[in-house]
């Protein structure tokens, strides 16, 4: 069988998803053929160029028409978060499997509606998946597996951060990611979402309460003239930054452990430093996205004089996803997670199982972020995360 895919949106995430769709069937043995059928965007010229450049058979400008087509099986949604709910729900209701880029939505209400739609679709064999691709970096999957095997025992604390510095320059203009109406939130929703999801994923425990602070370090920025690449050119005017630059919060996991979270775009010199360290009573595991082929493991059950953090190069055939790629010691990069995401989605569709992260998991991340905002508005007092 062949899965015909429509991708809606074509920004930076569209490029990454395109690599995933292109590479997955060539590098892995997939149980279904994949066809990159249509890419959809509002600007006809731009979307046609994207189609041509990234290898999509067709370009279209109306997502509703595309969703209505019989010859589309999968909708891959890479637009900004404010449009996710409407499109994803429509696609699911139209019987299309949906891969939705994170964050699931810009509000808990939207995310709830999406999770409900996904649940409804599920009963008809339609799959929904959220694009937290970092789960599928081999070292992160291995980290999760080792916790699940009990290698570090009971989780006693977690330290997670996602640090970037692209806003340190005050002349970076006011792109959509800095406007609440488009992005929902700033560092919190964009990169804080990743560390909340990763923490819940690797520990297998939801965050049940939070205490947090959010902050906008640079409050006025030049407005955007022409949009270019990740940001755009600046005009002479300025406007208010309406999202946070920085969020620091503490979480309580369901099993009782405390987690320190930090999401920032002001960590000078840190480009994409998603770091997580999980400390258990038998060991610890640490990961850094800037060295994504490495996982560090501390084994408290090893002989005393030999204990230390072991840097595992996660490039062996026996490591998750790696056998399909290169020999040991040959590095993987950022976009490989997108390929693995496609692999798992296609397999789940074929097998009739639910690919993770589900929309319910995406919703749970949104609820944690909403609780952080509520806490921040209440002097950072501890705030319960809404129950599922």
Least distance (Å) between residue 276 CB and a second copy? 13
Report the C-alpha gap between 23 and 378 in whole angstroms: 47
List 163's β-bridge partners, or say none. 264, 273
Does 310 contact a second copy by CB under 8 A?
yes
Residues 47-66 that bind a second copy (CB under 8 A): 53-55
Residues 145-164 that bind a second copy (CB under 8 A): 146, 152, 156-157, 159, 161, 164
Per CB under 8 A, which of residues 216..245 are in contact with a second copy? 217, 230
Between residue 67 and residue 126, which ones bind a second copy under the rule CB under 8 A? none
Phi, psi of 328 (to 5 degrees): -55, 140
Interface of this chain with a second copy, residues 7 to 26, rule: CB under 8 A = 12, 15-16, 18-19, 22-23, 26
Q: Is 352 in the site for a second copy (CB under 8 A)?
A: no
Measured between alpha carbons, how far is 274 from 139 in angstroms, rounded to an integer? Answer: 13
Residue 283 Cβ vs a second copy, minimum distance, rounded to whole Å: 6
Distance CA 75, CA 80 (A): 15
The CA distances from residue 141 to 152, 224, 293, 314, in Å, are 15, 39, 12, 10
Angle, helices 44-54 vs 12-27, to 10°: value is 30
Q: Least Å distance between CB 186 and a second copy?
A: 14
Q: Which of 125, 204, 225, 333 binds a second copy (CB under 8 A)?
A: 333
Window 260-289: residues binding a second copy (CB under 8 A): 260, 262, 264, 266-273, 277, 279-281, 283-284, 289
HSE at residue 83, side-chain half, CA atoms within 13 A, is: 14
Tell me whether residue 166 or residue 354 sits nearer to a second copy (CB atom): 166
- Residues 29-48 touching a second copy, rule: CB under 8 A, are 29
Q: Which is nearer to a second copy, 84 or 151 (CB)?
A: 151
Rounded to 5°, angle at Cα 134 from 94 and 249? 105
Instruction: Map tokens 């070292």 to a residue.
Output: 139
The minimum distance between CB 266 and a second copy, in angstroms, equals 5
């Amino acid at each position: 069988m062949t899965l015909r895919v429509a991708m809606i949106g074509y920004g930076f995430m569209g490029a990454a998803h395109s690599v995933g769709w292109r590479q997955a069937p060539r590098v892995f043995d997939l149980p279904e053929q994949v066809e990159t059928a249509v890419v959809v965007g509002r600007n006809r010229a731009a979307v046609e160029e994207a189609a041509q450049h990234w290898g999509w058979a067709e370009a279209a400008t109306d997502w509703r028409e595309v969703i209505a087509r019989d010859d589309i099986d999968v909708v891959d949604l890479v637009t900004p978060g404010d449009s996710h709910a409407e499109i994803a729900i429509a696609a699911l209701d139209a019987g299309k499997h949906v891969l939705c880029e994170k964050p699931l939505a810009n509000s808990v209400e939207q995310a709830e509606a999406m999770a409900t739609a996904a649940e409804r679709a599920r009963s008809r064999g339609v799959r929904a998946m959220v694009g937290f691709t970092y789960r599928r970096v081999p070292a992160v999957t291995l980290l999760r597996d080792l916790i699940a095997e009990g290698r570090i025992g009971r989780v006693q604390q977690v330290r997670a951060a996602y640090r970037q510095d692209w806003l340190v320059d005050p002349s970076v203009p006011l792109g959509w990611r800095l406007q609440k109406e488009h992005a929902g939130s700033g560092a919190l929703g964009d990169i804080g979402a990743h560390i909340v999801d990763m923490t819940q994923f690797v520990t297998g425990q939801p965050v049940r309460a939070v205490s947090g602070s959010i902050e906008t370090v640079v409050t006025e920025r030049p407005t955007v003239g022409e949009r270019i690449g990740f940001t755009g050119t600046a005009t002479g005017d300025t406007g208010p930054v309406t999202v946070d630059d920085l969020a620091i919060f503490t979480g309580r996991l369901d099993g009782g452990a405390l987690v320190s979270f930090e999401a920032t775009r002001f960590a000078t010199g840190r480009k994409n430093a998603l770091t997580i360290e999980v400390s258990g009573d038998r060991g610890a595991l640490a990961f850094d996205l800037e060295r994504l082929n490495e996982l560090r493991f501390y084994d408290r059950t090893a002989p005393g004089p030999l204990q230390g953090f072991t840097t595992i190069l996660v490039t062996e055939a026996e490591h998750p996803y790696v056998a399909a790629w290169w020999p040991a010691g040959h590095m993987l990069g950022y976009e490989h997670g997108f390929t693995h995401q496609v692999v798992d989605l296609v397999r789940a569709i074929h097998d009739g199982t639910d690919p993770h992260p589900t929309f319910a998991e995406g919703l749970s991340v949104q609820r944690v972020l909403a609780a952080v905002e509520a806490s921040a508005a209440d002097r950072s007092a501890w705030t319960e995360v809404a129950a599922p």
